Amino acid sequence: MKKSAVLSAASAASVAAAAVGFKYLKKKHICPVCEVKKVISNATVHTKATEEYSNGVALTPPMGWSSWNTFAANINENLILETAEAMKKSGLADAGYVYVNIDDCWESSVRDENGRLQADFSTFPSGIKELCNRVNNLGLKLGIYSSNGTKTCEGRLGTLYHEKIDAQTFADWGIEYFKYDFCHHKPVPTVAPYIDYITIENIENSFKLVLQAENGILSGKAKAVDDEKTQTGKMVIGLSNNEGTLAFDNVNLPLNGEYVLTVHIRKQKKSEKYLEMTVDNADVFPMNFESAGPFSVSGMYQLKLNLKEGKHSFYFKNPFKSEKDSYARQYINMGKELKNATLRFAEKNNCEEKPIVYSICEWGLNKPWLWGKQAGNLWRTTPDIKPYWSSVVAIYEFNVRLNKYSGVGNYNDPDMLEVGNGKLTLDENKSHFTLWCMMNAPLILGNDVRKFILSDGNVDINNNTLNIVTNKNLIAVNQDKRCIQCVRVKTDLLHDILVKPLENGELAVCFFNKGRKSTEMKTDIDQLRKNIIVDLPASKEYECFDLWDEERFITDGIICSQVPSHGVKIYRIKSV
């Protein structure tokens, strides 16, 4: 395979993936060109994964169902319950599909008097807590959805700026899977305000301390400059884009109690500004300065703090180098809130903690594979999947290259399954499922699973879709404890060979034929073993198990088979 061919395959795939997203974005009234530009831009994301998000769940790719692909906005509590019942009865639950995920359109358009989200009064009249109990009673877990924006994609209430209370609401309801979308998102400004002075007051005891900004410790690009309109004729600038810090160490407070802290700024240019204050190197307080009018030159941000008598430190900076950093940070924050919320609930109710699988869904726009590990359990890598072959292939082409970012507890998410939807043929459905299994992807069904139950109440054992998604050989490849995403070891654009190392030194090998003609495909296990990730022990003979046809055979190393158009062959191989 020539390098140029590989490169053109990659760019063709990106274009195809973009094309799928294009239609979708247009429909959603989002400027498609801007969004695609963002996808292919080289803008650097500076937020690097430092500590992995680990919440003790999703130790293999999560399996379940989501309402979106088939039902979109047409959902209600009966549908969710009927689905959960069908999952139990059809054997899906036993096969591992345990999450019943409600996607967009479950919410009312108003928060309650305490600022909490509430379910749509008309379509979910029993409320989510009750629904969750009922789903739990079936031995399944309930998942929910919101957007890291001011609204969801369908225009319901968003969670941005309500992270703590929404995380707590979900934990209180018993939710165990949370998908966090990206519609109506707002970046945090990378610009910091100019700081005049800071006051710290204990109102009850008439204590007031004034900290002039120019007297603080200035580092990086932070510097004091003259400005005749400020109180002292000076102000501190240079705190934008994570390039400078203003600090006050050893600030002595005379008593324990509640203090009002006010940051006084010199307004300049009509735009939003952002500052983050860290107190005592521990607690972080975000400060949003709204874009303000011209009538006075000074503005302020105020908050109340409980502080102990003694010495304290206050650090001010804008930590965001780019907008993309701020998106990553918003997702990271929500992950922290979810963890805190489930812990708080368990402590308060003296019960076992129910961690929430955290699914990040920003469509790959901000390269979430670079920071997703720190933020959550899984991250969407592409625009939305559609139930047609070109969409499945385009998404595969993009996601398959991200293998090195996937691992135990953290997964590339090429989107929910369309198996059984649209006009996908039997071979296409089998390929779609196989590729997702090989890619260590979450297996979230997107079809109407109630159809697996016949009108007489029996399970439709001849249902092709049911038989595909419950194939235990394939599920074992996906759920392998090593959680290694397959590597594409060979491609000629139309024919790919994928390998996925498994437990006990075994290896899954997959032939994928994207072409229009049935083709003979061939490999030599001893050649595959030369790939660094393959740790199948060398042997004179290998046992191969064809995972769809359930046939076993012994080979000295050569595997050769006829692969149908748009089809796959997948083998589990061990040394004998």
The residues of the shown chain that bind ligand GLA, judged by CB under 6 A, are: 68, 103-104, 152-154, 181, 361, 363, 384
- Owner of token pair 């590339």: 412
Give min distance, CB of 286 to ligand GLA, in A: 26
Report the residue number, 104 or 496, with the smaller CB distance to ligand GLA: 104
Q: Computed over its alpha carbons, how large is the radius of gyration of the chain?
A: 27
Report the residue number, 292 or 361, with the smaller CB distance to ligand GLA: 361
Give min distance, CB of 152 to ligand GLA, in A: 6
Spatial separation of the C-alpha atoms in residues 404 and 96, rounded to whole Å: 25
Give min distance, CB of 80 to ligand GLA, in A: 15
Spatial separation of the C-alpha atoms in residues 284 and 428, rounded to whole Å: 50
For residues 71-108, one letter each, b for 16 or more C-beta atoms within 10 angstroms of the residue's C-beta and e for the rest, the string is: beeebbbebbbebbbbbbbbebbebbbbbbbbbbbbbb
User: Which residue is closest to ligand GLA by CB?
Assistant: 153
Give min distance, CB of 29 to ligand GLA, in A: 12
Report the residue number, 345 or 369, with the smaller CB distance to ligand GLA: 369
In degrees and rounded to multiples of 5, residue 110 shows phi and psi of: -130, 145
Report the residue number, 196 or 418, with the smaller CB distance to ligand GLA: 418
Report the residue number, 154 or 427, with the smaller CB distance to ligand GLA: 154
Evaluated on CA atoms 487, 489, 490, 495, the torsion sign reads negative
Give min distance, CB of 174 to ligand GLA, in A: 21
Give min distance, CB of 177 to ligand GLA, in A: 13
3-state SS assignment for residue 273 = strand
Q: In this structure, what token pair is assigned to residue 479? A: 């759920």
Run of H or E residues at 237: strand 234-237
Q: In this structure, what token pair is assigned to residue 25? A: 């974005």
Give min distance, CB of 469 to ligand GLA, in A: 19
Report the residue number, 90 or 421, with the smaller CB distance to ligand GLA: 421
- The CA-atom distances, in angstroms, between 85 and each of 78, 173, 421, 470 are 10, 20, 20, 16
Give min distance, CB of 64 to ligand GLA, in A: 14
Report the residue number, 172 or 384, with the smaller CB distance to ligand GLA: 384
| Beta bridge mates, 101 | 66, 143
| Beta bridge mates, 434 | none
- ∠ CA 107-447-438, nearest 5°, is 110
In terms of Cα–Cα distance, which of 110, 184, 177, 117 is closest to 147?
Answer: 184
Quote the strand ranges of 5-78, DSSP E: 63-66
Report the residue number, 216 or 414, with the smaller CB distance to ligand GLA: 414
Report the residue number, 65 or 363, with the smaller CB distance to ligand GLA: 363
Spatial separation of the C-alpha atoms in residues 427 and 449, rounded to whole Å: 20
Give min distance, CB of 415 to ligand GLA, in A: 7
